[in-house]
Amino acid sequence: MAEQYGEAGRSAYIQARFAFDLIWPVAYLFLLVVLLSILYRVLPVKSRWRWVNLIPVLGWAMDMLENIGASLIMYRYPERTPVLAELTPVFTLLKWCLIYASFAALVPGVLITALYDIRKRKN
């Protein structure tokens, strides 16, 4: 892929990784952390489920590792970066699993908050 991009394409790829690919992860990180924090705050303070709002942070970290890995591979081309070339797709997979898990965690959060509100109104 790096060869097909050419030198100018690889340079543009790296710049895009550190422009657009920095803004979007911060946006979803902020959105998910805030939403999960709000939804799970009805749980007791000592509940481990209140830590669910850190799942997006792990997804963001994997996203940054993916961006760094892909950029270094492109930057170093034609020199090979075998370990990083093997790890970068793993970072991608973990990123998407964690982002999907974050969105999935919204569903029980909404249910927990709704049940809490219903119980609160009855009392």
pLDDT number for residue 12: 84
Out of 1-10, 23-32, 68-77, 101-110, least confident range: 1-10
Looking at 47-51, 71-75, 118-122, which range is the least confident one? 71-75
Both structure tokens of 15: 């710049």
Q: Nearest to residue 50, comparing CAs of 36, 63, 62?
A: 36
pLDDT at residue 113, rounded to an integer: 96
What is d(CA 93, CA 23) in angstroms, rounded to the nearest whole number? 20
pLDDT band per the 50, 70, 90 thresholds, residue 7? confident
